Structures are given as C-alpha cells and as structure tokens.
Amino acid sequence: MTTAIATLPNLTAGTWAIDTVHSTVGFSVRHLMVSKVRGTFNDFTGAITVAEDGTAAVTAEIQVASIDTKNTDRDAHIKSADFFDAEQYPTATFTSTAVRAKGDDYVVEGEFTLHGVTRPVELALEFNGVNPGMGNGPVAGFEATTVLNRKDFGITIDMPLEGGGAVVGDKITITLEIEAGLQA
C-alpha cells in the first residue's frame, strides 16, 4: 500500500522548532475504572522540518522523568521500574514516517519509542494555521491525539481492584498542543 504524502498549507520550507513555553504534551489514563488521571511532561523538544516540496517530517523527544500529575508520590511511582523505569529509559521519542490528508485534517504516521520498545503509531492531526508571530517570525499551531496501549510498550504492571478491574487502565490518550516557530 502506498501512503499519500500531504503538504501542510502555508508552512514555509525550513525547520519549525517546537516552542515548549507555548506547547503541551499531555495524557490521560483511566483510574479506578471510574475517572481519569491527567498529566503532562514538562521537558520535551521537537521540530517539524518542511522540505521545498512542502512535505513535512516530525521529530520529538520527551524526558519521561518530567512527568507531572500534580501528585509527587504518584509521579515517583510512575518514574519507577513498575512503569517508565526512567533511570534505564529516560526518553521517549517520535519520528514521523509519513503525513497524509484525512478530510480537512491529517494523519501523522511514525515510530514511537517508549520504555525501550518501538512501535508504529498514528497521530490524528489538526493544523491550526500560521500566524506572522510577534516579531520573531511566523508561528504555526497544531493539535494531535493518539491512543496507546501501555502494555504494547512493555509497561505491564497489573494493579487489580478487589471488586474487579484495575487501578490503572491500559489505554493512554496522548494529547499534543503544539506551537512551533520557523527558525532563521
């Protein structure tokens, strides 16, 4: 099967660096079968490289120890060998392999590495457009989401509840809100 490569309108050729001050790498996961825990990763980098023909490639790196769920005990447990094993696997990475149009939006296909395991993933991408910026060059905005199964990445801890179910769900929803600036 051939993947159609899409171009993102109004993105000038060059490298668009993710502005971490105006971007968020967030997630949510089912907790106790009835609610969701939400969190962010506060240390990440990335870039969108746009070729002269308008095709784009995306790279990103997340420092997993920068997790913040607003609970230091939970964050420490997630960083431990039970979950991320942040000491042995300090980074999660994403490298795109294709961008294709899907209606008015896009899909970014790529390889995601977490906990030492690399798997293909697809991000549903909404391109929010380009703005001239505030004197430092143009900025572009994107929102992307995907759902991962933590067990696919070797994070297999089971914490069963007495009445059935588990403390932590298997499905993790990743939500990216990205602002990127064209580098001079």
> How wide is the angle at C-alpha 174 spanned by C-alphas 168 and 178, nearest 5°?
150
Instruction: Supply the CATH classification number for the domain 14-182.
Output: 2.40.128.110
Report d(CA 59, CA 86) in Å as an integer. Answer: 20
In angstroms, the Cα distances linking 33 to 3, 30, 143, 160, 166 are 37, 6, 27, 10, 7
- The full set of domain ranges for the chain reads 14-182
Walking along the chain (184 residues) 10 residues at a time, the average pLDDT comes out as 55 93 93 82 96 90 97 94 95 95 94 97 95 89 96 83 71 96 89
The pTM assigned to this predicted structure is 0.90
What span, in angstroms and rounded, lies between the C-alpha atoms of 176 and 114? 16
